[in-house]
A and B are shown apart, each in its own frame.
Chain A
């Protein structure tokens, strides 16, 4: 009887949602390590925004890591939401790098808001990636 109830419970769920949930990308330690590095770096870099030269270098380093994260996520199968989030995170990081590259004055507050934004987003992504099925 319990077997039938369990089977009916699975069948009652929306087909697409079940398919997406069953085929979703499993936990990937490399992906998790990359997002952890991005989060930790962004936390450190947010405190260095008063030093323009250091911050410029920090922006370059972090933008390389977010490119790497987006590129790594890009071809993981059944990873649509992960890919979109990685792209959005990369856009945030590229915005800061481009601002430094343009030669325009970059205010310390803008630098801090950028790194804090990356840190918060990376924290959320890390939390969800860590909960992926093993």
Chain B
């Protein structure tokens, strides 16, 4: 994969409409730009990109947890409703 192809993919993600992916793609593009201008070393860029993967994992885990919280609230609500009637 060439650098141009990677940049095109990032650009399509920035405009994909999902704010999570759009922000991540923008962040990757900015980090790559910073590395090209010498503000980040190649090791720092690699670690920064790994951090983005870790942050995506956290988003996924927290989405799962949030789903369980909503379900827990709904079940408790239904149980209260069932018990009260």
**Is A89 within 8 A of B58, CB to CB?**
yes
Tell me whether chain B's interface is mostly helix, strand or loop, or mixed.
helix
**Is B34 within 8 A of A131, CB to CB?**
no
**Is A21 within 8 A of B71, CB to CB?**
yes
B15 lies within 8 A of chain A by Cβ:
no
Question: How many inter-chain residue pairs (CB < 8 Å) link A and B?
Answer: 113
Q: A83: nearest residue on chain B (CB-CB)?
A: B61
| Cα–Cα distance between A20 and B76 once the two chains are bound (Å) | 13
Binary contact track B7-47/A, C-beta < 8 Å → 1, others 0: 00000000000000000000000010010000111011001
Interface size class of B (residues with CB under 8 A): 20 to 34
Tell me whether chain A's interface is mostly helix, strand or loop, or mixed.
helix
A residues neighboring B (CB under 8 Å): 2-3, 6-7, 9-10, 13, 17-18, 20-22, 24, 81-82, 84-85, 88-89, 91-92, 95, 99, 104-107, 109-110, 113-114, 117, 120-121, 124-125, 127-128, 131-133
B residues neighboring A (CB under 8 Å): 31, 34, 39-41, 43-44, 47-48, 50-52, 54-55, 57-59, 61-62, 64-66, 68-69, 71-73, 75-76, 78-79, 81-82, 85
